[in-house]
């Protein structure tokens, strides 16, 4: 039996694997894709971030301000070399994801060699590399989730204020970066820790109150300025995506002709604002570009324009009507969301720059590790197959191993956690950590699949490392049953 790896050796070997894999991928042609900064709606107009950043962030309502702030700082400091800077940051995040994945498996009692192998396979997988080389939320979110888990474990293990501060700070950053993380998310964690750690209440209160108040301040600001107590006004667009955009052309025309839904809901997101003008009235200019611009300097529709308050009302009204009166449309959304959720991480439409360069490697990983027997890149073909009626063959296009393995891991984690607490075979810090992994997987899966559609694997990527950690724990438990030995609770 192999000896356990020493911690220093483990992280050195993981760093070597990371660096060598990135060199190989670079030689294969993988390059950092910074196009979203100028061409995706998720990014505030780059010119405004360079010259009117604080004003634009204050009046930003369509999304949380954290990611635009991060983007804007880099654009201001490196107006010409920002792609290289973002790439460097993503590489740092990548090594952090690598180390944290290994660390969290280790503290859960996973054999060091098993943890090393699983972490290495995860970090060199094409899906991870493609997200690492793509400028969007997911890579930063994945790192923050892992960092928050490590901070919480260390607080529970050592009960020191610094780890509580780090934990709540990570939660605040998650809320500021992604609309998926609500005020309730950070408030719930704050109240749960106060309830379960009574002897540390004072320390926890002062550690978490500032991040909680800052999060509340963002929601309160949007309520005062825009009349909505939220971090984002994107809900109408979400509702439209899972309802009206699931209608066939014939269904939509029928509902519109009978006056049951408005023609606005059939306008494709991202078209010029002028397409909406027959149905809405342009608000008077405010003199604040982020609220007045119809499009960014690069031509991307500005969803932060005040006219979208009117448009979102149409989306909400029509979407809720469909939910009440024609729920079959929402069922279609659920089917598509769950189908995409079980796709390999690298199977994403906007990886068109790098995916073709490593296609053979990705197909190998998708087939061997995820069980995707047929490539699902042609979404239009899959949609046509779906419209022809239920087809068992569609399963071949998703990750069969993921389809079986991820729900199995989710269910097993419940059993392992409950049994470990009842039998007292799990130490409290480990139980809290596994509980957090389970909660985040459940929370993000529910938010992604019930409130969105089409890109479930992109949303799932944020917790893919958590699935790897749970898989490592499950394999370790299986190994212990085969080769039992006395072991203290971990």
Q: Kindly report, residue by residue over 240-264, the tens digit of the pLDDT.
A: 999 999 999 999 999 999 999 999 9
Q: Kindly report, residue by residue over 194-209, the tens digit of the pLDDT.
A: 999 999 999 999 999 9
Span 105-130, average pLDDT = 97
Average pLDDT across the chain, whole number: 93
Span 128-151, average pLDDT = 98
% the chain with pLDDT above 70 = 95
Q: Measure Cα distances from 191 to 144, 168, 225, 229, 333 in Å.
A: 20, 12, 28, 20, 34
**pLDDT score, position 490:** 55
Terminal-to-terminal C-alpha distance of the chain: 21
Q: Token digits for 48?
A: 């405004």
pLDDT higher than threshold 50 for residue 486: no
**pLDDT score, position 391:** 63
Q: Kindly report, residue by residue over 397-447, the tens digit of the pLDDT.
A: 889 999 999 999 999 999 999 999 999 999 999 999 999 999 999 999 999
Cα–Cα distance between 477 and 466 in angstroms, integer?
Answer: 17
Q: What is the CA radius of gyration of the chain?
A: 23
pLDDT higher than threshold 90 for residue 338: yes
Cα–Cα distance between 88 and 162 in angstroms, integer?
Answer: 27
Q: Measure Cα distances from 384 to 183, 252, 380, 381, 394 in Å.
A: 40, 18, 6, 5, 11
Cα–Cα distance between 489 and 487 in angstroms, integer?
Answer: 7
**pLDDT score, position 269:** 83
Q: Token digits for 339?
A: 């189908």
Q: Measure Cα distances from 295 to 40, 161, 232, 235, 314 in Å.
A: 11, 46, 19, 21, 21
pLDDT higher than threshold 50 for residue 110: yes
Span 210-234, average pLDDT = 96
Decide: residue 92, CB within 10 A, 0-12 exposed, 13-18 middle, 19+ buried: exposed
Where is average pLDDT lowest: 111-125, 135-149, 232-246? 232-246
CA dihedral defined by 266, 269, 273, 279, rounded to 10 degrees?
20
Range of 385-394, 397-406, 477-486 with top mean pLDDT: 397-406
pLDDT band at 396 (very low <50, low <70, confident <90, very high): confident
Cα–Cα distance between 332 and 449 in angstroms, integer?
Answer: 12
Decide: residue 195, CB within 10 A, 0-12 exposed, 13-18 middle, 19+ buried: exposed
């Amino acid at each position: 039996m192999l000896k356990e790896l020493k911690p220093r050796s483990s992280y050195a070997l993981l760093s070597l694997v990371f660096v060598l894999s990135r060199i190989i991928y670079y030689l294969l042609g993988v390059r950092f894709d910074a196009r979203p900064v100028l061409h995706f709606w998720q990014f505030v107009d780059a010119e405004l971030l360079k010259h009117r950043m604080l004003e634009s962030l204050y009046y930003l309502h369509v999304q949380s301000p954290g990611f635009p702030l991060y983007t804007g700082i880099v654009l201001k400091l490196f107006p010409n070399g920002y792609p290289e800077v973002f790439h460097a940051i993503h590489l740092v995040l990548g090594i952090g994801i690598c180390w944290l994945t290994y660390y969290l498996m280790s503290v859960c009692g996973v054999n060091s060699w098993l943890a090393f192998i699983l972490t290495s396979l995860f970090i060199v997988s094409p899906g991870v590399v493609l997200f690492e080389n793509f400028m969007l939320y997911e890579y930063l979110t994945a790192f923050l989730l892992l960092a928050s888990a490590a901070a919480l474990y260390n607080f529970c293990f050592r009960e020191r204020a610094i780890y509580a501060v780090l934990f709540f700070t990570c939660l605040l950053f998650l809320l500021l970066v992604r609309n998926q993380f609500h005020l309730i998310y950070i408030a719930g964690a704050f109240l749960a820790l106060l309830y379960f750690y009574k002897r540390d209440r004072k320390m926890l209160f002062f550690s978490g109150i500032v991040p909680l108040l800052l999060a509340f301040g963002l929601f309160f600001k949007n309520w005062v300025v825009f009349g909505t107590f939220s971090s984002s006004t994107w809900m109408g667009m979400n509702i439209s995506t899972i309802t009206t955009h699931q209608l066939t052309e014939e269904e939509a025309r029928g509902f519109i002709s009978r006056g049951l839904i408005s023609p606005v809901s059939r306008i494709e997101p991202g078209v010029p604002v002028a397409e909406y003008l027959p149905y809405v009235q342009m608000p008077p200019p405010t003199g604040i570009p982020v609220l007045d611009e119809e499009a960014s300097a690069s031509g991307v529709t500005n969803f932060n324009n005040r006219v979208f308050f009117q448009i979102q009302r149409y989306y909400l009204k029509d979407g809720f009507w469909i939910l009440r009166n024609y729920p079959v449309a929402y069922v279609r959304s659920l089917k598509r969301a769950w189908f995409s959720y079980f796709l390999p991480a690298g199977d994403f439409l906007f990886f068109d720059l790098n995916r073709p360069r490593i296609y053979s490697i990705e197909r190998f990983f998708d087939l061997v590790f995820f069980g995707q027997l047929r490539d699902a890149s042609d979404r239009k073909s899959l949609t046509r197959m779906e419209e022809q009626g239920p087809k068992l063959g569609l399963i071949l296009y998703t990750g069969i191993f993921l389809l079986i393995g991820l729900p199995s891991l989710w269910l097993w984690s419940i059993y392992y956690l409950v049994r470990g607490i009842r039998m007292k075979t799990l130490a409290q810090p480990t139980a809290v950590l596994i509980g957090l992994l389970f909660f985040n997987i459940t929370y993000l899966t529910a938010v992604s699949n019930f409130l969105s559609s089409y890109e479930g694997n992109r949303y799932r990527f944020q917790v893919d490392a958590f699935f790897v950690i749970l898989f490592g724990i499950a394999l370790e438990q299986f190994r212990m049953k085969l080769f039992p030995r006395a072991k203290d609770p971990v």
